Amino acid sequence: MKIRTLLLATSLISSSAFASTLNLDYVEAGYGTVSFDDSSFDPKGVGVKFSKQVEENFLIKGSYTLTTDSDDHDDYELGQLYAGFGFLTHLEEDKIIEISPYYGKLKTEIEYSYSGGIDKSAYDATIYGLEANYHFACNEALSMLVGVGYERLDFEYVSENNASYQVQLNYNFSEKFTFNFSHRNVKDYKNTGLNIRYNF
């Protein structure tokens, strides 16, 4: 009887520790890259991200990434800003479904150098998106996010509607700090990042 009681207590403690790997309260920063299907530019830079669960079934989140690239004649800069919120459904202690609408801005600046001087051009796009993400813990140290979504990009004279998918692998190397690899693929561009996260 004592052994069963001890096993039950250990199981409850393990479940609590296991569930804590799905912490949605964090700030993170890291290295990011962007690649385009129809461009020779391959910008690299830094990104920051924030998430805060304000109620059991609701969170707010945002991110910003700034990347740059250059060749012999041109300098390229891309800023990506996203803000949104999420509705959470807790399937189990270690499994969460998140449905998130979001709003974003893309700002591209290109500086052209030629024999007569330098020219600059800038392009903006507004983003409206919706994504469904599945968060789950593999064990006490590892958790994942897999998701699919829809994104509309409004440029000055034209709009695009694209499907997207993303995957993220998180490794908790302490209670407060997590290392993750993330990859997000929208039809015409891809974001990849390596990040350090502080859980609060």
Q: How far apart are CA 35 and CA 193, in angstroms?
A: 12
Q: CA torsion 20→175→101→62, rounded to 10°? A: 160
Per residue in 76-134, pLDDT (tens digit) is 999 999 999 999 999 987 999 999 999 999 999 988 887 777 888 888 999 999 999 99
* Residue 198 tokens, joined: 């502080």
Q: What is the mean pLDDT of residues 153-177?
A: 93
In this predicted structure, the answer to whether residue 179 has a pLDDT above a threshold of 80 is yes
pLDDT score, position 12? 42
Q: What is the pTM of this model?
A: 0.84
Cβ-Cβ contacts under 8 Å for 175 (sequence gap 6 or more): 20, 199
pLDDT score, position 50? 97
The domain spans of the chain are: 30-199
- Among 38, 122, 15, 116, residue whose Cα is nearest residue 78: 122
Per residue in 161-170, pLDDT (tens digit) is 999 999 999 9
The whole-angstrom distance between residue 170's C-alpha and the CA centroid of its chain comes to 12
**DSSP 8-state code for residue 140:** S
pLDDT score, position 95? 95
Question: Mapping DSSP to helix (H, G, I), strand (E, B) and coil, where does residue 108 land?
Answer: strand
Per residue in 62-82, pLDDT (tens digit) is 999 999 998 878 899 999 999
Q: How far apart are CA 169 and CA 12, in angstroms?
A: 25
pLDDT score, position 80? 97
Q: Which CATH class is domain 30-199?
A: mainly beta
Q: What is the mean pLDDT of residues 176-190?
A: 94
Q: What element of type H or E holds 149?
A: strand 142-154
